[in-house]
Copies of this chain bind each other. A is one copy, B any other.
Amino acid sequence: MTLKVYADRMSQPSRAIIIFCKVNGIDFEEVRIDLVKRQHRSPEFKEINPMGQVPAVVDGRYKLFESHAILSYLSCAFPGIPDHWYPADLFTRAKIQSILDWHHTNLRRGAATFVLNRALGPALGLPLNPQAANEAEIILRASLSKIESLWLKGNAKFLLGNFQPSIADLSLVCEIMQLEVVDEKDRDRILGPHPMILQWIENVKSATSPHFEEVHGILYKVKARLHSRLANAKPNDTHLSMKPNPKL
């Protein structure tokens, strides 16, 4: 039975799962759960994931949510997945788990909160909150510095000095890619001081080509749409009520 991946490509952990499946030749069906249409809150989807969040997978009778758990599950459940994604070596695997745990309360907290309050909120029916965006930017900047100084030191190609990417590389880079939807000045201000992060993103893109760019294509479309709407909004209108757009 084909693996089902319930996802919205606007969600960064959804993209990580889809890219992982495509790169590793996993036979899967992508089931679109439209966040703007609030399909993740529907009773039908809550039968799949009672937490009402994407991504989630169904593998035969087995259901699983939380993207990090899904990535490690897929790494072990499907034959032929190269070891570098989730190394069997106890010590390396625990270091990867440590990065993934850290991600939840640092990089993800900073990046997701920043993007939501700087650009994406209105598409989800939430107001933009400049103060929350500023606070999140501090966490985001500190997180990027930590990644660079601890896990990419010595111009490592991938996290922990590995020569090939792990599920942590994929998860964290998909998170940072969410910054594509904010204004370029904001993105440059935040990522510009981190050349090793920028090189690392390129390394992950390259290692997962052409799937990485294909799956991220939606971000560029949404960015163009958001910016044209913001440009047409009144100067102080931080609550853009955007109608759900089936193309978003």
Binding site for B on A (CB under 8 A): 50-51, 62, 64-70, 72-73, 76-77, 90-91, 94-95, 97-98, 100-102, 104-105, 108, 146, 149-150
Contact = CB atoms under 8 A, between A and B. Distances in A.
Nearest to A94: B73
Contact of A90 (B76, B98, B104, B149): B76
Which DSSP category, helix, strand, loop or mixed, fits chain A's interface? helix
A66 B146 contact: no
B50 A97 contact: no
Closest A-B pairs by Cβ, 9 of them = A104-B104, A66-B101, A69-B97, A69-B98, A73-B94, A66-B98, A68-B101, A69-B101, A69-B94
Contact of A97 (B68, B94, B146, B149): B68
Contacts of A68: 97, 101
Contacts of A73: 90, 94, 97
Copies in the complex: 2
A241 to B, nearest CB: 24
Contact of A102 (B66, B95, B102): B66
Contacts of A98: 64-66, 69-70
A108 B105 CA distance: 10
A42 to B, nearest CB: 17
B65 A91 contact: no
A119 to B, nearest CB: 21
Contacts of A62: 91
A72 B97 contact: yes
Contact of A51 (B50, B91, B146): B146
Nearest to A104: B104
